[in-house]
Amino acid sequence: MNCIDLLLKDGEAATMLGCSKSTLWRRVSDGTIPRPVKIGGMSRWLQSEIKAVIEQAIAQRDAGPSGLVVLCLLLKTSPSSRYKRDNR
């Protein structure tokens, strides 16, 4: 049996990553997230590639000094602003 890799719309990929569509596209622009597959005028991401981005972030978190710093690097925010916002 062949496994078929699902194709995700930008909103679906963003939901998997827990970010907005605009943040997804910014991360595509800066190379953090792979470029989508183009089919006609459609942009789609392989579900396996989005999972790989998440797995890479987890691996970096586990190997690095701070999971919060790695997450903030992925999302391009500062740890202090994220901590203040999340802990109000």
**pLDDT tens sequence across 36-72:** 999 999 999 999 999 999 999 999 888 876 556 666 6
Top pLDDT among 78 and 16 is at 16
Which domains can be identified in the chain, with CATH numbers? 7-86 (1.10.1660)
Q: pLDDT: is 84 or 8 the higher one? A: 8
Tell how far CA 65 is from the center of its chain: 20
**pLDDT, the chain, mean:** 84
The residue written with tokens 């595509």 in the block is 28
- Look at residue 85 and tell me whether its pLDDT is greater than 60: no
**Half-sphere exposure (Cβ direction) of 69: Cα atoms closer than 13 Å:** 6
Residue with the larger pLDDT of the pair 1 and 75: 75
